[in-house]
Amino acid sequence: MKNASQSNRRKYMELYFWLGVMLGVLPPVLAILTELYLQQLPLTVWAIQYVLRKNPILWVFNLGPLVLGATGYFLGRQQDLMINLTASLEQRVAQRTAELRQSNQVQEILNSLLRLSLEELSMQETLEQALERIINIPWLPTEPKGGIFLTSEDDPNVLLLRASHNMAVPLLKSCARVPFGTCLCGRVAQSRTILFTDCVDERHEIQYEGMKPHGHYNVPIVHRDKVLGVLVLYVSDGHQPQPNEKEALQAIAHTLASMIAARQAEEDLTRQKKFFETLVQTSPAAVVVMSSDQTIQSCNEAFVSLFEYTREECVGQKLDALIVPPEAHEQAQQYSQQALAGNLINQIAQRRSKNGRVIDVKISAVPVRIEGETVGVIAIYHDITELLQAKREAEEAAKAKADFLANMSHEIRTPLNAIIGMTSLLLDTRLDDEQANFVETIRNSGDTLLAVINDILDFSKIEAGKMTVEKVPFNIAYCIESALDLVAAKAFEKRLELAYVLQENMPVKFQGDITRLRQVLVNLLGNAVKFTQAGEVTVSAAVENVQGSLYTLHFQVRDTGIGIPKDKLHRLFEAFSQADTSTTRKFGGTGLGLAISKRLIELMGGTIWVESEEGKGSTFHFTIQAEPASGTASLFPRQAQPNLSNRRLLVVDDNDTNRLILQKHAASWGMSVSAAASGKEALQRIEQERFDLMILDMQMPEMDGLTLAQEIRKHPTAAQTPLIMLTSLGRKPEGAEGVAFNAFLSKPIKTSQLYNTVCEVLAARPSAEAVAPQKQAVFDPSMGDRHPLRILLAEDNLINQKVAIGLLKKLGYRADLAANGLEVLEALRRQEYDIILMDAQMPEMDGEQAARIIIERYPRGKRPRLAAVTANALEGDRERFLAIGFDDYISKPIQVEELVRVLQNTVPLPRKTTRPLRLHGESTSSGD
């Protein structure tokens, strides 16, 4: 076409040129001929020359051919260009049209592939239909033959022939499985680039007999960098590829890739969905799916069989209306709300089946969330009816066991107590040495047996998780003192010093379980005394840490005993473990004590540990957590006491710890304290200065307390100084009467007792003034005058009345009487009292009830002090009464010391009236 247009162009240019020349020749020829004719000249060369010479204008005409020829040339050229332009335009249009048609067809095929992907077809059908469409693209010079391979799911380096069209039968077999790198398709899968061949060459590895020559397009199907498969198309032998063919095939492969990928994902999803559906349907747990308004959307087989509703009966119904019993509606509603709010629910509850069967279920519920929005809830119900039944049975069995154990231990303990009690009595009778030895052994064995039984009972309680700790107000100082009391006898026998010290200014009233704390302390103290031959055993308590209202209290029980070998330390707190079996033989014990202590301490939120050095002693540490009880006041005053301040005290004790404790306490009350470590030193001190009071330890080497006291009583200046003797177990040493001690204090030193005694001894005395020693100064018959109180005795029992009134009278008090709680209230309406001594058990209204009413009616500070008097000397009774609101506690039969202490601690209420005190008021009533 180009050549043709080129020749055309030339033709037009020449044609127009010559036409122009010829048209240009005409005017000069006509002009010359006209001139010749006008001049009457002949047509000769001469005549022409003549005319030309004569008419120079003719030269202008002679230029005609030249001008017109040139014009023609240019016109021709113009024409030529026009034609040329048109031709090329036509050509371009045709080309573009062809291109458009092709791309349209590609587009169409792509569209149809996309449509295919939207249809609900299996992968197989999709591939087959896609293949059919691709090989039928009209412009593609393919033969209507081809196939699609997909990468195997099991082996990502193998192609599997998944769809084929018109492929030769032998190939279907040999191409069913093509490893990557093998034959054309395998190569393409590896190289990931499109491959074209126009003949069967050496790369065409898979061949068969009678194969006709052909070429191929092998197109990799790649999606997100992953080879999904290969598309193979046949072209005729010797086909010249056009560039747009590759492009189109690329686009098709691309679409095919996303189609296959989508289909694969879909298949995965379907498979997964089926898997989960099967899982849910065959799950032994009842599963129900609800919308956010708790309408059931679906449920599984187990749900149907558990709740006895058919699926049709469930779906569309509200879950709660079907299976929640009316009384649990509110709670069920809460669970649903919580699940919808996005929380996981894990609860045990009761649900009801269609037939009204009550089922114990464990409910797990999870919110169903789609893109952050909760659209429903899945609830899972495990039937635990049988489980709970089994649990109940097991618990009953455990309870029966525990009851049996408790009963047994009671049954054992009752006769055992009799054995111990009777042997104690027997020991007080006249026995010869051998008999005494036998009885002593029986008595000790009884004690040991009792301890073992108590330990085993406690341990089994703890093991069964039955041991609970109480939370009632108690006083730490009292707790430690009462623990020390229990080991005092043993310590005395071994001549061990016992002492305790509280951190200065620490609160002493806490909420906790005094009985358990005391048990731990007694255990540790018992061990300490048991394993110490000489020296001392001390207890200390301190606040280790305060977090908000929670205190961590640190206790230490230190001894100077045999210590524990390092390699035995770690097993110390295990059950049935003592440091050594030989230890058991030598010292006795069940080996349960520390294990029990450890558990008890853990129950109280603490830990226990030990530091020990063999031969030097051990320190057991433990912590507990407790909140201070309201009104955290010290049991005894910590601040300086006016009547004690600056009074001079001499402490004589050879034991450093005891001396230090005494010094510390006295100093905290404002006393000026000196100390001496021996009787000799003490005698030197009294030569130098005078004291208001001396506290002497009984047991001291060289010069004991009694000898020292005798010396002091002989001393010219110090003879009249009040003396307090420190003894063990309150046993007055023989000969003490002769010395006239003003008071005896038993060790371990109880702070409150020390305080009261010091106060009492010093009360009536002016500073450092000599007063004749009194008999029975501990119980002051003038106490009623010194410390007047209005007392109401609430007691229905005549004997108890007589005892109490007799004792009070001796102290200088007279009390009014009430026979029951009602009479107490009646008496309070008539008159104010400073203290009520209230029997716990009275007819009509008992003491506990009366106390509650009084506490309710009269505010603190306006009501009398309430002291409970009870014959039930059970452990923990005291705490129980204090918890009710009683201020104090006396056990029956009434001990004089206790009565004095209670009265001493009573602060009279401010008197309303100015009339004289009715110290010796008339009885308002008399019981019995």
Cα within 13 Å of Cα(559), Cβ side: 24
Sequence letter at residue 145: K
Q: SS3 for 292-326, per residue? A: CCCEEEEECHHHHHHHCCCHHHHCCCEHHHHHCCH
Q: For the CB of residue 802, give the shortest distance to another protein in the complex, in Å.
A: 6
Q: Are strands 177-179 and 195-197 parallel, antiparallel or unpaired?
A: unpaired
Q: For the CB of residue 874, give the shortest distance to another protein in the complex, in Å.
A: 10
Give residue for tokens 């063919």: 245
Q: For the CB of residue 819, give the shortest distance to another protein in the complex, in Å.
A: 12
- In the complex with another protein, which residue's Cβ is closer, 425 or 719? 425
Which 144-203 positions form the footprint of another protein (CB under 8 A)?
A: none
| 849 binding another protein? (CB under 8 A) | no
**What DSSP assignment string belongs to 527-562?**
HHHHT-SSSEEEEEEEEEEEETTEEEEEEEEEE-S-
Q: How far is CA 117 from CA 110, 137, 257, in A?
A: 10, 18, 11
Q: For the CB of residue 797, give the shortest distance to another protein in the complex, in Å.
A: 5
Candidates 75-83, 330-338, 758-766, 887-895: pick the segment binding another protein (CB under 8 A): 887-895
- Tell me which DSSP letter residue 174 carries: H
Candidates 101-109, 523-531, 538-546, 893-901: pick the segment binding another protein (CB under 8 A): 893-901
Distance CA 13, CA 336 (A): 97
- Between 1 and 30, how does the x/- string for binding to another protein read (CB under 8 A)? ------------------------------
- In the complex with another protein, which residue's Cβ is closer, 62 or 841? 841
Which 409-438 positions form the footprint of another protein (CB under 8 A)?
A: 425
- In the complex with another protein, which residue's Cβ is closer, 775 or 915? 775
List Cβ neighbours of 269 (8 Å cut-off, separation of 6 or more): none
| 731 binding another protein? (CB under 8 A) | no
Sequence letter at residue 157: N
- In the complex with another protein, which residue's Cβ is closer, 359 or 894? 894
Q: For the CB of residue 704, give the shortest distance to another protein in the complex, in Å.
A: 24
Candidates 96-104, 217-225, 607-615, 891-899: pick the segment binding another protein (CB under 8 A): 891-899
Choosing from 841, 904, 905, 924, the residue that interacts with another protein (CB under 8 A) is 841
- In the complex with another protein, which residue's Cβ is closer, 152 or 841? 841
Q: For the CB of residue 897, give the shortest distance to another protein in the complex, in Å.
A: 8
Distance CA 812, CA 348 (A): 66
| 896 binding another protein? (CB under 8 A) | yes
- Between 369 and 408, how does the x/- string for binding to another protein read (CB under 8 A)? ----------------------------------------
Residue 690, φ and ψ in degrees, nearest 5: -105, 145
- In the complex with another protein, which residue's Cβ is closer, 264 or 797? 797
Candidates 65-73, 323-331, 734-742, 802-810: pick the segment binding another protein (CB under 8 A): 802-810
List Cβ neighbours of 692 (8 Å cut-off, separation of 6 or more): 647, 648, 649, 721, 722, 762, 765, 767, 768
Choosing from 144, 415, 730, 843, the residue that interacts with another protein (CB under 8 A) is 843
Candidates 82-90, 782-790, 857-865, 892-900: pick the segment binding another protein (CB under 8 A): 892-900
CB atoms within 10 A of CB 523: 23
Residue 194, φ and ψ in degrees, nearest 5: -65, 145
Distance CA 751, CA 729 (A): 16
The answer to whether the CB of 189 falls within 8 A of the CB of 159 is: yes
The answer to whether the CB of 706 falls within 8 A of the CB of 698 is: yes
| 807 binding another protein? (CB under 8 A) | yes
Choosing from 803, 845, 883, 919, the residue that interacts with another protein (CB under 8 A) is 803
Choosing from 776, 912, 914, 922, the residue that interacts with another protein (CB under 8 A) is 776
Which 320-339 positions form the footprint of another protein (CB under 8 A)?
A: none
Distance CA 907, CA 833 (A): 11
| 806 binding another protein? (CB under 8 A) | yes
- In the complex with another protein, which residue's Cβ is closer, 335 or 813? 813
Give residue for tokens 């998780």: 465
Q: For the CB of residue 895, give the shortest distance to another protein in the complex, in Å.
A: 7
CB atoms within 10 A of CB 225: 6
| 729 binding another protein? (CB under 8 A) | no
- The interaxial angle of helices 593-603 and 433-463, nearest 10 deg, is 40
Sequence letter at residue 374: T
Task: Give one word for 131, left, alpha or beta, with left for phi > 0 and alpha for psi -120 to 50.
Answer: alpha
- The interaxial angle of helices 751-763 and 656-668, nearest 10 deg, is 60
Sign for the CA dihedral angle at 332, 336, 341, 347 comes to positive
Which 130-149 positions form the footprint of another protein (CB under 8 A)?
A: none
List Cβ neighbours of 644 (8 Å cut-off, separation of 6 or more): 666, 669, 670, 671, 758, 759, 762
Sequence letter at residue 746: S
Q: For the CB of residue 722, give the shortest distance to another protein in the complex, in Å.
A: 20
Which 808-827 positions form the footprint of another protein (CB under 8 A)?
A: 810
- Tell me which DSSP letter residue 774 carries: P
CB-count exposure of residue 680 (10 Å: 0-12, 13-18, 19+): middle
- In the complex with another protein, which residue's Cβ is closer, 144 or 893? 893
Choosing from 214, 530, 765, 892, the residue that interacts with another protein (CB under 8 A) is 892
- In the complex with another protein, which residue's Cβ is closer, 526 or 927? 927
Q: What tokens does 354 get?
A: 């269609």
- The distance in angstroms from the start CA to the end CA of the chain is 149
Q: For the CB of residue 840, give the shortest distance to another protein in the complex, in Å.
A: 10
Cis check: omega of the bond before 748, within 30 degrees of 0: yes
Helix, strand, coil percentages in the chain from 3-state DSSP, rounded to 5? 50, 20, 30
Which 348-367 positions form the footprint of another protein (CB under 8 A)?
A: none
| 871 binding another protein? (CB under 8 A) | yes
Candidates 134-142, 526-534, 621-629, 794-802: pick the segment binding another protein (CB under 8 A): 794-802
Q: For the CB of residue 844, give the shortest distance to another protein in the complex, in Å.
A: 11
Closest CA to 650 of 692, 678, 687: 692
Candidates 88-96, 176-184, 434-442, 804-812: pick the segment binding another protein (CB under 8 A): 804-812
Distance CA 762, CA 648 (A): 11
Total binding residues toward another protein, as defined by CB under 8 A: 21
Choosing from 60, 82, 344, 799, the residue that interacts with another protein (CB under 8 A) is 799
Choosing from 893, 911, 918, 923, the residue that interacts with another protein (CB under 8 A) is 893
Q: What tokens does 528 get?
A: 């300490």
CB atoms within 10 A of CB 100: 11
CB-count exposure of residue 150 (10 Å: 0-12, 13-18, 19+): buried
Candidates 295-303, 618-626, 682-690, 803-811: pick the segment binding another protein (CB under 8 A): 803-811
- In the complex with another protein, which residue's Cβ is closer, 802 or 911? 802
Candidates 186-194, 330-338, 556-564, 796-804: pick the segment binding another protein (CB under 8 A): 796-804
- Between 261 and 300, how does the x/- string for binding to another protein read (CB under 8 A)? ----------------------------------------
| 114 binding another protein? (CB under 8 A) | no
| 779 binding another protein? (CB under 8 A) | yes
Q: For the chain, give the number of residues.
A: 928
- In the complex with another protein, which residue's Cβ is closer, 556 or 891? 891
Please report, as ranges, the residues that interact with another protein according to CB under 8 A: 425, 776, 779, 796-800, 802-803, 806-807, 810, 841, 843, 871, 892-893, 895-896, 928
